[in-house]
Amino acid sequence: MPAIVINAYNRPHALQRLLHSLARAHVPDGTRLIISIDHGGDPQVRRIAENFAWAHGPFEVIAHERKRGLIGHFLFCGGLTRTLGDIIYLEDDLYVSRAFYAFAAQSLEAYRHDSRVAGISLNRLHFNGYTRYPFEPIPDAADVFFLQVYWYQGQAYTPRMWEEFETWWHTPDREVRPEDGLHPALLPGPAWEDDFFPSAIKYLAQTGKFFVFPCQSLTTNFGDAGTHFEHGTRFFQVPLQHHRRDFRFQPLEAALAVYDPFFEILPDRLAAALPGYDFDVDLNGTKPPAARTRPWVLTTRPVTAAARGFALALRPPEMNVLEGLPGRGIALARPGDIRRGWLADLRFEQQRHAYHARGEIALRRWLLYWLAKKLTRP
């Protein structure tokens, strides 16, 4: 029976809101709840935590006597698996579905013995963080998909999952480097100070592990102002699945919806549609050369020559390849045949925006959009 661990610091309103959703959720009797409060936060956070009436089992508030910081507090909470066993880890700006506990418990049991699974996400990641466009995993036979992104909006771990991550974390090679072949946005910089996210993605990529994600979200995020957000944001809000109680799972090797750190479906999931070709998948057009090592690439960028061409119409893009839908928009080409230069980049961006906007837009209007996007990108 997984324990629930809440990470809190200096957002009393957020904690109150999370506890409100927790009190409405379907949680079995005997479930332990721990609220861990980092040192130096708002005193009201501790009052709210200590006054919460938890009706389902043992309840404990841990008020730290020294400041742990974002990473240190995360590692402390995950480390509770050593004494508690399975945990469901929640940050204070989340809101949980009534069915969150059932999904977490069933997912942990389904993938407990699969060493390729690094953790469970309770949040259905709805966007590609590199492109800012929607992320739509291909429909599968299960209620989950697999992705090499270490997502933080509600997680669940077995002791084995956490121990493997923590052991890797304490190795000297966790910093992301250009030769790792990950997205350049993950390279060290001011945005990642006191943040585990880039290194955690490197962990997944380096070890060949995946996070399990629900197809419908069991948590949503209010994006309250805090350590990483000076102002609140509504960007992370997603619909909640309140009504399911039984969820379908399948082994990773049987799944179609399996994605790498660039939100690209694994090439072997498309191999039957492209027999005889050894190819990388770069349908989002975000992979640097270090991440493209095979003789062919499946791309949406303009090319000078292509061995195969597919339409860019069905959703998600890889569905066009699986269905063998002929047309223009997706090409199987040699990496050296990808067109370079500002004009090729502009045409690629226009096509990508038109696809996600579900229709063509006037060139002038699109150029204004593109310029605004470039100027506002952090």
- Of 38-47, 158-167, 239-248, the range with the highest mean pLDDT is 158-167
3-state SS class at 256: coil
- The whole model's pTM is what? 0.92
pLDDT of residue 363: 59
Q: Which two tokens stand for residue 349?
A: 């961006």
pLDDT band of residue 378 (cuts 50, 70, 90) is very low
Give 84-96 pLDDT, tens digit per residue: 999 999 999 999 9
Q: Rounded to a whole number, what is the distance in angstroms from the first to the last CA of the chain? A: 42
Give 195-241 pLDDT, tens digit per residue: 889 999 999 999 999 999 999 999 999 876 655 555 567 888 899 99
Run of H or E including 13:
helix 12-24
CA distance 239 to 44: 30
272: pLDDT strictly greater than 70: yes
**What are the distances in angstroms from CA 145 to CA 117, 138, 263?**
11, 8, 11
Question: Cα 252 from chain centroid?
Answer: 17
| Dihedral sign of CA atoms 3, 7, 13, 14 in order | negative
The amino acid that residue 230 corresponds to is E
Q: Which two tokens stand for residue 220?
A: 């949503």
Averaged pLDDT for residues 300-328: 97
Find the largest Cα–Cα distance for the chain.
67
What's the burial of 332, exposed, middle or buried (CB within 10 Å: 0-12/13-18/19+)? buried
Domain ranges of the chain: 3-259, 267-376
CA distance 298 to 280: 6
Buried residues in 349-358 as b, exposed as e (16+ CB within 10 A): bbbbbebeee
Q: Phi and psi of 287, rounded to 5°?
A: -80, 130
Of residues 321, 317, 319, the one with CA closest to residue 306: 321
E strands in the chain: 3-8, 33-37, 59-63, 87-91, 94-96, 117-121, 144-147, 155-157, 210-214, 219-221, 258-259, 279-282, 296-299, 308-311, 329-333
The amino acid that residue 303 corresponds to is V
17 versus 368: which is more confidently predicted? 17
Say how many residues make up the chain: 378
37: pLDDT strictly greater than 60: yes
Q: Which of 44-48, 182-186, 270-274 has the lowest mean pLDDT?
A: 182-186
Do 23 and 32 contact (CB within 8 A), yes or no?
Answer: no
156: pLDDT strictly greater than 80: yes
Beta pairing class for 3-8 and 87-91: parallel
Q: Phi and psi of 303, rounded to 5°?
A: -130, 160
* Mean of per-residue pLDDT scores for the chain: 92
Structurally, what CATH architecture does the domain formed by 3-259 represent?
Answer: Alpha-Beta Complex (3.90)
**What are the distances in angstroms from CA 362 to CA 328, 353, 373?**
20, 12, 16
Sequence-ordered alpha helix ranges (H) in 279-362: 317-322, 342-357
Contacts of residue 30, Cβ cutoff 8 Å, sequence gap at least 6 = 1, 56, 57
Of residues 72, 79, 73, 89, the one with CA closest to residue 33: 89
pLDDT band of residue 191 (cuts 50, 70, 90) is low
User: What whole-number percentage of the chain has pLDDT above 90?
Assistant: 79
